[in-house]
Amino acid sequence: MWDKTTLDTIVEADDLKVAPFRADGKTTGTPTWIWCVQVEGNLYVRAYSGTSSRWYQSALQQKAGQIHAAGNVYDVNFAPAPEDMNDSIDNAYRTKYAGSSYLSPMVSERARLATVCITPV
């Protein structure tokens, strides 16, 4: 689990890039910028393009990689978010990104199905 200071720093910086490992399990893919939110002390991201997103597929297959955020690189694990968290995650997205034209797609069913919880190694 993230410590509160680190998680707050990551979420407030709003510059998170995900880089799951490639099939070799050692080399990370190209970092992809993505929105992030925190709910109940956990860090969540969603794939704008849904479950067909390349980074999402890699994250689920490899279950690990790195994130780049707030000027740091963190080794992380990726796991599907529990379905029962989706409403709370939607609310966090609505609060953090209110007014953005991209908000609606990020709280759509397509994106909800591609919600990932990121935890530190």
The domain of 36 spans: 4-120
List the beta bridge partners of residue 97.
Answer: none
pLDDT of residue 14: 94
pLDDT of residue 115: 98
Backbone angles phi, psi at 100, to 5 degrees: -80, 140
Counting the structural domains of the chain, the total is 1
CATH number, domain with residue 24: 2.30.110.10
pLDDT of residue 53: 96
Regions of the chain where pLDDT drops below 50: none
pLDDT of residue 102: 95
Mean of all residue pLDDT scores within the chain: 97
Q: Which region, left, alpha or beta, applies to residue 10 given φ > 0 means left and ψ of -120 to 50 means alpha? A: alpha
| C-alpha distances out from residue 27 to 30, 74, 77, 104, Å | 10, 14, 14, 33
